[in-house]
Structure 1
Amino acid sequence: LLEVDGGTLLATAINDYTVEIPVSDAVEGGPIIAYQMDGAEMQVRDKGPLWIVYPYDDTPEYRSEVIYSRSIWQLDRIEVAG
């Protein structure tokens, strides 16, 4: 878990697509940064090497367009913003 009080995370993909993710989303049982799918490392052509994935199937609150838009694939970097 993050040791940051409040603020926003800026997640940027390799194509410079950027999304804002509230730090409050970084909770136990919340999103993960996936690097494997079905036991194999994800390649760029398969939305890898990293992908922010929320537990959509386990938590109905995560089934929204806002959350889906935060599920950035081909993740390159995450920065802490104000």
Structure 2
Amino acid sequence: MTGNIERTNSNGKAIFDREMLDQLSQHGFFTGTPWTGQKHHFSGVLLSDLLNYLGAEGENVRVIALNDYHNDLSMNMVRKHPFLLSTRLDGEIIKVRDKGPLWVMLPLSEHSEYDTKRYHEMLVWQVKQLDIQ
């Protein structure tokens, strides 16, 4: 995590491994996605909880993937909607080849308003970095 954050652990950044993320409050839900074909259980940390923990302040959270694809989520949107920074899929650690190690997810099956192209673009997989802007 980079950008405007209060809690850091490495030269103004917050570097997390999966074990550190696992220490934060965990959440999960079952949902289908356009990429998985059936419902799966996604679990991990709510992005809003992580931002609160780090004291993040800004207008946007830029979610950056391993291939440098990125999407900017407004802080208001992140605080209003249950964006999950998924670390596990059906209880198993998400591997890079399966869209891990982190995959931003929403409960698409429970809330049809999320199951649109606009929200699908926000569900970045293979997340490597979050930057508060």
Do Structure 1 and Structure 2 share a fold, with TM-score over 0.5?
yes
Residues 29-66 of structure 1: per-residue CA shift (max 9 Å, x gap): 61100011111101100100000001111112212111
* Greater relative CO, 1 or 2 (CA 8 Å, sep 6+): 1
Aligned length: 81
CA–CA distance in structure 1, aligned partners of residues 83 and 104 of structure 2: 6
Residues 5-29 of structure 1: per-residue CA shift (max 9 Å, x gap): 6611100001111111111222366
The 4+ residue runs of structure 1 with deviation greater than 4 A are 3-6
Q: TM-score when scaled to structure 1?
A: 0.86
Counterparts of residues 2-81 of structure 1 (less than 5 Å)? 2-3=51-52, 4=56, 7-27=59-79, 30-81=82-133
8 Å contact 1:29–1:55 — kept in the other structure? Answer: no
8 Å contact 1:9–1:78 — kept in the other structure? Answer: yes
Alignment gaps of 5+ in structure 2: 1-47
CA–CA distance in structure 2, aligned partners of residues 66 and 8 of structure 1: 16
Alignment gaps of 5+ in structure 1: none
Q: Which amino acid aligns with 1:53?
A: M
8 Å contact 2:58–2:132 — kept in the other structure? Answer: no
